[in-house]
Amino acid sequence: MGIEFQVVDTIHRVSAEAWQALWKTDYPFVQYGFLTALEDSGCTPGNIACNGEENASGDAESGWQVAHLLGYDGEKLVLAMPMYCKTHSWGEYVFDWSWAEAYHRNGLAYYPKLVCAVPFTPATGPRIACADSHELGAVLPLALTWLRQFCEAQGFSGAHLLFPDKALSSQWQALDWQQRQGCQFHWFNRDYTSFDDFLSGFASRKRKNLRKERQQVRAADVTLQRLTGSDITPQDWDAFYQFYHMTYLKRSGATGYLNRDFFARLGEAVGDQLLMVVAYREGRRIAASLCFFDNECLYGRYWGCREEVPGLHFEACYYQGIEFAIERGLQRFDPGAQGEHKIQRGFEPVLTYSNHWLVEPAFNDAVGDFLQREKPAIEQYRQQCAEALPFKQV
């Protein structure tokens, strides 16, 4: 098979038509428009050397530099993987800080590394696209062999696949990439006809607690509006970014991974796959959440507020999303990483996956041993969380 692989430093080295033709999915985070919005806004700069040196096209502060893997059969694009050169581990949500520290203690450099991932987005989904004319099962071993050689030649410590679906993760594992499991909390639509229908499956006390939480928001004279597509105005985007920015500052002292330009481009690029929930009090916007959606799933991503109202975060980020998913017939709601507080609100523990390969054999073996020992603890945690769900016992 005569496929030639290359890593490109900007998505603009491939046309939108060629990129989109490979992805047989409406999963929002691999769409050309979404990835272009990240890059062109400077959140994931292109055209920057992975050693962190600045050049004329931007700066390296984001720590996410475009390094997409492409495969060509002649002049035809037949494979694509969204990849990034990383100079830190922020924004990945698969935590490998201890691995980096171990490298440092042994006089080795863990950064830069390569990740096949969607930046700042711990949402499981497709991570590789292959043309209909080629079998992924045949192309993938070639691509991963080439990727290993590229890492060795360019001085990367290794490469990592973040938040693939289980089937893709298993394919990589079969090719000697270590598999890691994690746990998130997702809501599943079991043919609910309304939010009350969903709540009818709760134990009585827990159903009462959730209704009380929603009532707190109404009692605070807060109203909420769900906006999609062109209904989201520039004024809504301005307010949303202020809330997002302010909330990051309060929480961490940082300004957040994403800038105003990204959100402006996002509305233009994938507006029909966006849900913004805006909270009003006395006619003023005081908070907002932003979700993405495709034909099957709602993805909760960003939140911010100007005023703290008891229960408002849960209402805007979870309950409005559940109602939207029921109305649209979506099968799942993925509200993001972490958060045991989601359990009592009916979000069920699910396993997530990542895969890892390190150039240094001793460290690769050590990581593999660690992940094997970690796996039973993750499964036990998932089971314990499942036992704490609010649903009636059957």
Bridge partners for 224 per DSSP: 279
Alpha helices in 13-129, H assignment, sequence order = 16-22, 32-40, 97-105
Please name which of 182, 193, 127, 198 lies closest in space to residue 160, comparing C-alpha atoms.
127
Tokens 């993987």 correspond to what residue? Answer: 81
Does residue 1 carry a pLDDT above 60?
A: no
Q: What is the pTM of this model?
A: 0.94
Task: Note the pLDDT of residue 53.
Answer: 42
Tokens 């109203």 correspond to what residue? Answer: 223
Helix (H), strand (E) at residue 36:
helix 32-40
pLDDT tens digits, 144-169: 999 999 999 999 999 999 999 999 99
pLDDT tens digits, 304-356: 999 999 999 999 999 999 999 999 999 999 999 988 999 999 999 999 999 99
Domains of the chain plus CATH, in order, are: 3-182+351-387 (3.40.630.30), 190-330 (3.40.630.30)
CA–CA separation, 332 vs 321, rounded Å?
A: 10
Local structure of 314: helix, strand or coil? helix
DSSP secondary structure code for residue 44 in this structure: S
Please name which of 173, 198, 176, 178 lies closest in space to residue 188, comparing C-alpha atoms.
198
User: Given CA atoms 26, 19, 86, 172 in this order, what sign does their dihedral have?
Assistant: positive
pLDDT tens digits, 236-294: 999 999 999 998 888 777 778 899 999 999 999 998 999 999 999 999 999 999 999 99
